[in-house]
Structure 1
Amino acid sequence: MAITQQTLLKFVVGAAITAAVLFLVWYFSSIVVYILVSAVLAVMGNPLVKRLACIRIRGWQVPRWLAALVTLVVIWVVLAVLCTLFVPLVFHKIQQLSGIDFAAVMGSIEEPVARMQYYLDELFALPESSFSLSESLSAGLRSFVNLESLNTLFSSLFNIVLSSVVAIFSISFITFFFLKDEGLFYAMVSAMFPERYHENIIRALDSVTALLARYFTGILSESLLLTIAVLLVMMAFGMKTADACFIGLIMGVMNVVPYAGPLIGGIMAVCIGVITPIEGTSVGHTVLVIVASLLVLKGLDDFVLQPTLYSERVKAHPLEVFIVILIAGSVAGILGMLLAIPSYTVLRVFAKEFFSQFSLVRKLTEKI
């Protein structure tokens, strides 16, 4: 298909509008995050609102505003229950790490560290005393649980709580009206475009909602299953329930970040195992149990669950998704990797609606 002057002009105008929108999104990123989180919560809670709004009691029908309010309360109750289950574990572990005896920890792993040091010296022909694995591990552990860092964390707790209160209030307020006035989010987005594009916008938002709902429900289900699996395996090997829950929580939360998250979570889990080993076993045995268990569980997760989540659920090729995550990670770090797939899904859907005349766009969006 030949590219006409009108088509080229449409592309340039569209690119300019897209650039302007992206700049505004970046500039008002905190507000945009509140709106997006509220939209996701509204999508999750909308079925309950509809069900409650259909209830009739002696001719009196539950008003939609009341159904929306009840649904919002249910959402926050569920989130509060989850927090009460896991937040105490995190604070207990921070308190435990702040009083750790590094001399005892390093003494317990002295023999395997010395053996590993010998293998490194032999393998890389290192000069004597040029590199000390023991000192490097000790420095790493000290930086991981540095007392000054912990004090800074607690001193900034007030700011974190204040920001959280503002975020919770803002998200609750926006979510309530998204639940109460069905289609409000669609109207907000459509208002930014000329009326002749409203049909395309509605179609795009329908596709985005369906794809992102599938993706988020899938990734949350995967993280929950991984948390439970890690917890049960660690407990089966004799680890204390609190430590097993903490390692399972770390792996479940970090698993939300594609590819890099599980690696970071695994390193943190090994550090926890070194500091608080399984009772009655050596540190080396504990580390072996953690590493072997996580490798097996993540292998099952990578080859069974993730291909379905990261490709089938957002209708994209696995290699395409992998490259997008790499680009996002190099541009915006961990946050970029976390938002890469949802952002790419939105861009693909809108590109299909407005730029389907280009062969590259048709190729990238043919499965949507």
Structure 2
Amino acid sequence: MKTTPQTFLKFIAGTAIAAAVLFLIWYFSSIVVYILVSAVLAVMGRPLVNRLAALHVRGWRVPRWLAALVTLVVIWALFALCCSLFVPLVFNKINQFSTVDFASVVNSIGEPIARVQRDLQNLFALSESSFSLSDELTAMFRQMVDMESVNWLFSSVVGVVVSSVIALFSISFITFFFLKDDGLFYSMVTAVFPERYHDNITRALDSVTVLLSRYFTGILSESLMLTVAVTLVMMAFGMKAADAAFIGLVMGVMNVVPYAGPLIGGIFSVFVGIITPIEGMTVGHTAFVIAGSLLILKGLDDFVVQPTLYSERVKAHPLEVFLVILIAGSLAGILGMLLAIPSYTVIRVFAKEFFSQFTLVRKLTEKI
């Protein structure tokens, strides 16, 4: 199809409207996140709601509002179960960090540190009396994890808990009505657009729902598998179950953030191994075991699981996905990388519905 001045103006107008919508989404980002999380939970819980609403008990049919309420309770019960398993591990590890003697930790890896110090002194012509890498590392660790840091962390956790309570109530309230009134989310979105575009919006929302459901279920499955795999491997090397589960949890949670997350999680996991080494192993051996195991497991994950997850599930080329994540990370850091693929998926689906006359759009959306 030829590009005419009218279609070009339509494209410019659509781009301007999209920019305005994106600005409003950014400005009211917390509310938008609540709505999107509620929509995802509603998609996940809708099969259970439909099954419960179809039940008949002695001629009495279960009302949809009750089915929605029961489903919401089940969702949060599963979430509470996960928290009850992992939250104690996190607080136990924070308590361990606050009581660690960092001087003894640094002394336990004295030989590698001494070697690095000698190399630094030779490289920068530093005298032995003016620079001590052991003292610097001890001071740095104490500054990172002293009582003030623990108190600050505790205050931050309290702030997060307060915010989480507000988010929990908001998401629960919105999710209940999304579950109770089937199609409410679609109605909210289509109400923003003129009636002649409602069919396009409905088709786009159908595609977005399918693609994002596949993506999020894939992400959760991948993170759960990585958590279990890391935990079992660490326990196989003799690590205590609590420490192994904590490292597995860190890697599983950080794996949600593409590329950067596992790297940060791996560094933190090695740090945990240095603080609490495996019984019968030196600190250096423990760090090597953790780093090597995570490198192998993440290598398998990156080259076997993620290509299917990031490209097949959202119907995009792996290089395309990588560039989108890279650009989003440059613009908005970790949060941008976290939201890159879902946002790009939504943009592609709506671009296909409204701007399919452009060659670039057809090329980017041909697999959808």
TM-score range, shorter chain: over 0.9
Question: How much does 1:140 deviate?
Answer: 4.3
The residue aligned with 2:110 is 110
Give the partner amino acid of 1:294.
L
The residue aligned with 1:75 is 75
Is the CA contact (8 Å cut-off) linking 1:325 and 1:341 kept in structure 2? yes
The residue aligned with 1:27 is 27
Question: How much does 1:132 deviate?
Answer: 5.2
Give the partner amino acid of 1:100.
V
The residue aligned with 1:128 is 126
Q: Distance in 2 between matches of 1:247 and 1:154?
A: 21
Residue range with higher mean Cα deviation, 137-146 or 9-18: 137-146
Is the CA contact (8 Å cut-off) linking 1:54 and 1:62 kept in structure 2? yes
The residue aligned with 1:291 is 291
The residue aligned with 1:366 is 366
Question: How much does 1:138 deviate?
Answer: 3.1
The residue aligned with 1:179 is 179
1:367 alignment partner, SS class: coil
1:366 alignment partner, SS class: coil
Give unmatched runs, 5+ long, in structure 2: none
> Structure 1 158/293 Cα, relative in aligned 2: closer, same or farther at 3 Å?
closer
Question: Counterparts in 2 of 1:223-302, with a 5 A limit?
Answer: 223-302=223-302
Task: Calculate the TM-score normalised by the size of structure 1.
Answer: 0.96
Is the CA contact (8 Å cut-off) linking 2:120 and 2:126 kept in structure 1? no
Q: What is the CA deviation profile of residues 230-260 of structure 1, one whole-angstrom value per residue up to 9, with x for unaligned ones?
A: 0001011111111111100000000000000
Q: Distance in 1 between matches of 2:135 and 2:103?
A: 12
The residue aligned with 2:151 is 151
Q: What is the CA deviation profile of residues 285-311 of structure 1, one whole-angstrom value per residue up to 9, with x for unaligned ones?
A: 100100110011011101110000011
Q: CA RMSD in A?
A: 1.5
Q: Distance in 2 between matches of 1:246 and 1:315?
A: 34
Task: Calculate the TM-score normalised by the size of structure 2.
Answer: 0.96
> Structure 1 128/239 Cα, relative in aligned 2: closer, same or farther at 3 Å?
same
The residue aligned with 2:196 is 196
Give unmatched runs, 5+ long, in structure 1: none
Is the CA contact (8 Å cut-off) linking 1:234 and 1:290 kept in structure 2? yes
Q: Distance in 2 between matches of 1:202 and 1:134?
A: 63
Q: What is the CA deviation profile of residues 51-73 of structure 1, one whole-angstrom value per residue up to 9, with x for unaligned ones?
A: 11111112111111110000000
Identical-residue share of aligned pairs (%): 75
Is the CA contact (8 Å cut-off) linking 1:141 and 1:271 kept in structure 2? no
Is the CA contact (8 Å cut-off) linking 2:38 and 2:175 kept in structure 1? yes
The residue aligned with 2:209 is 209
> Structure 1 329/103 Cα, relative in aligned 2: closer, same or farther at 3 Å?
same
Question: How much does 1:136 deviate?
Answer: 4.9
The residue aligned with 1:346 is 346
Residue range with higher mean Cα deviation, 130-139 or 64-73: 130-139
Give the partner amino acid of 1:181.
D
Q: What is the CA deviation profile of residues 274-332 of structure 1, one whole-angstrom value per residue up to 9, with x for unaligned ones?
A: 11111121100100100110011011101110000011110111111111111111111
Q: Distance in 2 between matches of 1:147 and 1:153?
A: 10
Give the partner amino acid of 1:152.
W
Question: How much does 1:159 deviate?
Answer: 2.6
Q: Distance in 1 between matches of 2:64 and 2:273?
A: 51
The residue aligned with 2:98 is 98
The residue aligned with 1:304 is 304
Q: Distance in 2 between matches of 1:175 and 1:105?
A: 48
Q: Distance in 2 between matches of 1:190 and 1:149?
A: 48
Give the partner amino acid of 2:304.
V
